[in-house]
């Protein structure tokens, strides 16, 4: 259950529209991350007001807590978390991968000990599809192995990246078969892997295209590699994916990274950066990033970003946010998260408007120049 149309394009960049079971998503889109069934510190009504049309949920964490038996009682994640618009869930692969030495990977899947209660658990492509069926997310992700950029200081070589990518392809086929067996009415996306190797990425794209999935993601970037390596892969892969299907760049990135991704043909993004940085007092503005903990803001009467239309900037000064942060008030990360997410969502809206009028390249140049100007 997915429709996608490209409404306009400029170079490789596309302005599109995604139709999902719980609503329409205008692309390019940024998807706020709601790991445990909550975008940290932000009410669903605030997300709706800022124009967020789709959010993420995390299969691994929701499986451990509250568990699929609880979410099944609510007929899925939407009613459980009070969010009526579309949801995308990851497959859990990235989180078990993040457990490092505590996870044992085999052809069957990944065996690990629950970080919550110590239970021995096995996550396989089939189990991931079964969990995501209960979550009833509009977009489910295939179970994959995220190829590490380096392990214990050793950069992953081509042979190792190849072995990993080929296993992810077999897991894609198993995910697809189980998704069909469960009669999941939503959409399943495949994930391109292949490490930092263009030839492996191309093999992954070709094999996944054969599976004819409704959409495709680019995984295995933003996993600790140098920025230039990430930019090389982001420039290489998106436009090689089928033109008529949505393309999702996983876990990226800064506002400038989003501009680069759109220019390379990406339609969907997610990243914890706006919310995580907000909690650390790191705020995004049109004229560069602002560290609200800096003493220079103690008496600053301006809003975080005078060009921002968010509820935080409409009402509160930098001095007030600085004060709240100093006192450890819970309102500080809440107001900062609303501002940062609004900044990302508004950026994507500006990008879509520019694509509609064929002015994306000019917009991107002006935006990046403003950002590097500094506060
Ligand atoms: Zn703001």
Cβ-based burial of 351 (10 A; exposed 0-12, middle 13-18, buried ≥19): buried
Instruction: Please measure the distance between the N-terminal and C-terminal CA atoms of the chain and give it in whole angstroms.
Output: 45
Ligand 1: distance of its center to the CA of 138 in Å? Answer: 29
Ligand 1: distance of its center to the CA of 232 in Å? Answer: 32
| Statement to judge: residues 289 and 250 lie in one domain | no
Task: Work out how many domains the chain is built from and give that number.
Answer: 2
Ligand 1: distance of its center to the CA of 309 in Å? Answer: 6
| Statement to judge: residues 232 and 347 lie in one domain | no
| Statement to judge: residues 102 and 156 lie in one domain | yes
Ligand 1: distance of its center to the CA of 165 in Å? Answer: 41
| Statement to judge: residues 306 and 354 lie in one domain | yes
* CB-proximal residues (5 Å) to ion ligand 1: 308, 310, 312-313, 339
Count of Cβ atoms closer than 10 Å to residue 17 Cβ? 16
Spatial CB neighbours of 355, under 8 Å, sequence gap ≥ 6? 8, 9, 10, 13, 14, 15, 28, 262
Both tokens assigned to 278: 């907000």
Spatial CB neighbours of 227, under 8 Å, sequence gap ≥ 6? none
Both tokens assigned to 240: 């090689």
Ligand 1: distance of its center to the CA of 64 in Å? Answer: 35
Q: Which residue has the tokens 């086929």?
A: 173
Which of the residues are catalytic? 90, 270
| Statement to judge: residues 50 and 152 lie in one domain | yes
Determine how β-strand 55-58 pairs with β-strand 87-90: parallel
Predicted pLDDT of residue 50: 98
Predicted pLDDT of residue 278: 98
CA pair distance 171, 92, nearest whole angstrom: 13
CA pair distance 133, 146, nearest whole angstrom: 22
3-state class percentages of the chain: helix first, strand second, coil last, to nearest 5: 45, 20, 35
| Statement to judge: residues 187 and 316 lie in one domain | no
Predicted pLDDT of residue 152: 84
* Residue pLDDT tens, the chain, 375 long: 799 999 999 999 999 999 999 999 999 999 999 999 999 999 999 999 999 999 999 999 999 999 999 999 999 999 999 999 999 999 998 888 888 878 999 999 999 999 899 999 999 999 999 999 999 999 999 999 999 899 888 999 999 999 999 999 999 999 999 999 999 999 999 999 999 999 999 999 999 999 999 999 999 999 999 999 999 999 999 999 999 999 999 999 999 999 999 999 999 999 999 999 999 999 999 999 999 999 999 999 999 999 999 999 999 999 999 999 999 999 999 999 999 999 999 999 999 999 999 999 999 999 999 999 988
Q: Domain range for residue 33?
A: 3-271
| Statement to judge: residues 96 and 156 lie in one domain | yes
| Statement to judge: residues 243 and 309 lie in one domain | no
- For the entire predicted model, the pTM comes to 0.98
Ligand 1: distance of its center to the CA of 250 in Å? Answer: 25
CA pair distance 280, 57, nearest whole angstrom: 22
């Amino acid at each position: 259950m997915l429709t996608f149309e490209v409404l306009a394009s400029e170079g490789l960049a596309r302005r599109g529209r995604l139709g999902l079971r719980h609503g329409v998503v205008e692309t390019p889109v940024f998807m706020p991350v709601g790991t445990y069934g909550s975008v940290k510190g932000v009410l669903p009504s605030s997300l709706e007001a800022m124009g967020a049309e789709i959010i993420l949920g995390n299969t691994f964490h929701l499986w451990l807590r509250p568990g699929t038996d609880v979410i099944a009682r609510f007929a899925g994640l939407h009613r459980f978390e009070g969010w009526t618009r579309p949801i995308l869930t990851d497959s859990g692969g990235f989180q078990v991968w993040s457990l490092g030495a505590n996870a044992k990977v085999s052809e069957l899947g990944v065996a690990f000990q629950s970080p919550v209660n110590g239970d021995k658990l096995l996550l396989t492509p089939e189990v991931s599809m079964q969990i995501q069926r209960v979550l009833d997310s509009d977009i489910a992700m295939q179970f994959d192995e995220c190829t590490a950029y380096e392990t214990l200081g050793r950069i992953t070589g081509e042979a190792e990246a190849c072995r990993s990518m080929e296993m992810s392809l077999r897991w894609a086929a198993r995910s697809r078969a189980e998704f069909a067996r469960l009669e999941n009415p939503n959409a399943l996306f495949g994930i391109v892997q292949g490490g930092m190797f263009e030839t492996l990425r191309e093999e992954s794209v070709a094999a996944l295209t054969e599976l004819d999935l409704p959409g495709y993601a680019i995984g295995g970037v933003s996993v600790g590699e140098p920025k230039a390596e990430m930019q090389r892969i982001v420039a290489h892969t998106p436009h090689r994916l089928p033109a008529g299907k949505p393309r999702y760049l996983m876990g990226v990135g800064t506002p400038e990274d989003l501009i680069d991704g759109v220019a390379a043909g990406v339609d969907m993004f997610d990243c914890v950066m706006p919310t995580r940085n907000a909690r650390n007092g790191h705020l995004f503005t049109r004229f560069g990033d602002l560290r609200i903990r800096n003493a220079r803001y103690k008496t600053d009467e301006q809003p975080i970003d005078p060009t921002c239309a968010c509820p935080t900037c409409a009402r509160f000064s930098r001095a007030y946010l600085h004060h709240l942060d100093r006192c450890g008030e819970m309102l500080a990360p809440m107001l900062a998260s609303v501002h940062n997410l609004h900044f990302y969502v508004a950026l994507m809206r500006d990008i879509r408007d520019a694509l509609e009028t064929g002015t994306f390249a000019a917009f991107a140049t002006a935006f990046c120049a403003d950002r590097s100007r500094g506060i």
